[in-house]
Structure 1
């Protein structure tokens, strides 16, 4: 059995971490300077290079995450390990780049030793640090600071906890500001996330739709309709008059038509497509997101959508296409 004192101790330690981070976040919420952030964004967007992230230890790990976030949201970026930079990797940095350095103390030895070389290159430099008066804070053109009113939250007040949380938040704030200034859209996001369900949901319908689909004429009989549906393997066929869409026929439409002929004591082989079809099929634009198509199908409880305009459909998207692409 777990000792009650141990549970109480764990709870106290956990609350200390949360309280330290919350206190620092509340202060940052009231103290950060949007004008300073906007000025940094203007400089980054006005240059043709990348944002180079650097930091040592835990700050370096946060810097790697910020670099990944920037890259995925439309801002070319990379992580430069400061120790490796001192031994040749500095050659990865160009004069068109800008630097964003992370250090809680602003005195990380490897980062500070890197500063003279970056200054000589004339590269705009920003810093995320708790100490604007530090070596890093003094040479940075933009210093994004935070305070830790309740310390790190660590039981020993030694391990970086609240500080790395605040660095991470600052990185996300800068990334979000760049996205806003750049006019970054869902379409841009999808281009940077081609794999996985997240990217698939943001792909447009035209990327997943069938450009060939079953077609019959208004006067086609039941047998011809069934042949078209079987061959198409989509559980449907469209009814067309030239390029114009008259309607669609599904398995359900056929069942309902057969029930009607049985009730009226008519020969089902006399049925024609125009008697079975749904005359106002659900449509969606090529430019709509796959996610929107999925929501429309779910709301209507259907398995496909015609794409384009009724007068001139350009494709068909089926629920199986969304499942294959991991939209659903």
Structure 2
């Protein structure tokens, strides 16, 4: 006889939002209590991190391990060399990554995990310092670390008071506070941040220069002032910039002839076959130096409603040209 399986679907009730509000309230209260309890120990921890001659090795187990991984990433991206070392892997070979110049930042709410106590023992034998973050100042990890930061919470958001929720939030925010305090003490700038994040939007904006994205050499559309308009159109079509640079007999740029100039020339004269680009070019075109940030060039082009811009050196020598599409392709804008 076939047996049928009944699937019971649990749907949210009117208590769902109330549960969320309780979670928020509990975790906010935990952070407020942590904020109120901060003392000179936090300043000492920041001083230790700033004085570290090696790297900050952040370690933890379980949910604390996830928090430790995030804190290590935040420290590393904000100017404090750091990496994550899983507590379980540490006691199976990864402790070989630790040097006496490093500082161990160990996160364990109970402060009693055997793996982290082993890390503590090895660190002490090596002469590496340790900062611990626990919820119990009387725990073995807290008592034996060089410095202890108390992240105790009155209760977890979990109604069973078992799943790490408020406690992991407290540890995470405490780690963020350490990273930001170090960032500010180091004078870490937007440019420094960009160098740590070259693949991100901010990195591209602050590390991409005009010379990196400009067109140059044979890719540039160039004609002389006496070039007939039909011949200039051939050059424009071949190079795909919607314009051509106009140079004098010394190859110095004296203007540009754009699609817009072409339309205006047709509107004025009708038959343009015998006209030269000098009859309709835009003189004194806007330019930018090659060492300018690409985002600065984009801002200038946007303000002037320009699709193209020349790249000139300090002497007025033509080095290249930019098209708005180049900036889009480089993801600068």
- TM-score strictly above 0.5: yes
| 3-state secondary structure, aligned to 1:137 | helix
Deviation track 1:242-293 (CA, whole Å, cap 9, x = no partner) reads 475433322112211221223xxxx423433344333353444544444444
Report whether the alignment pairs 1:182 with 2:186: yes
Pairwise mapping of residues 111-260 of structure 1 onto structure 2 (< 5 A)? 111-149=116-154, 151-195=155-199, 197=201, 199-205=203-209, 206-212=211-217, 213-241=220-248, 242=250, 244-260=252-268
Higher mean displacement: 11-20 or 272-281? 272-281
Deviation track 1:203-251 (CA, whole Å, cap 9, x = no partner) reads 3223222233222333333134223322322212223344754333221
Shift of residue 121 of structure 1?
1.4
Structure 2 counterpart of 1:305: 309
Alignment partners' CA distance in 2, 1:60 and 1:295: 44
Q: Is residue 288–residue 310 contact of structure 2 (8 Å, CA) maintained in 1? A: yes
Could you say if the C-alpha distance between residues 133 and 45 of structure 1 is closer, same or farther in structure 2, counting changes exceeding 3 Å?
same
Structure 1 counterpart of 2:93: 88
Alignment partners' CA distance in 2, 1:39 and 1:274: 71
Once superposed, what is the RMSD of the aligned Cα atoms? Answer: 3.0
Number of residue pairs aligned between Structure 1 and Structure 2: 320
Alignment partners' CA distance in 2, 1:32 and 1:140: 18
Scaled by the length of structure 2, what TM-score is found? 0.82
Alignment partners' CA distance in 2, 1:38 and 1:281: 56
Gap runs ≥5 in structure 2: 1-8
| 3-state secondary structure, aligned to 2:320 | strand
Structure 2 counterpart of 1:22: 28
Alignment partners' CA distance in 1, 2:108 and 2:62: 9
Report whether the alignment pairs 1:73 with 2:78: yes
| 3-state secondary structure, aligned to 1:80 | strand
Shift of residue 31 of structure 1?
4.4
Shift of residue 61 of structure 1?
0.6
Could you say if the C-alpha distance between residues 13 and 255 of structure 1 is closer, same or farther in structure 2, counting changes exceeding 3 Å?
same
Q: Match for 2:15 among 9, 18, 25?
A: 9
Q: Is residue 238–residue 247 contact of structure 1 (8 Å, CA) maintained in 2? A: yes
Alignment partners' CA distance in 2, 1:143 and 1:52: 15
Q: Highest Rg: 1 or 2?
A: 2
Deviation track 1:83-140 (CA, whole Å, cap 9, x = no partner) reads 2212222111111211111122322232123211111211122223333343222333
Looking at both structures, which has the greater relative contact order when contacts are Cα pairs under 8 Å and sequence separation is at least 6?
A: 1
Q: Match for 1:105 among 104, 110, 121?
A: 110
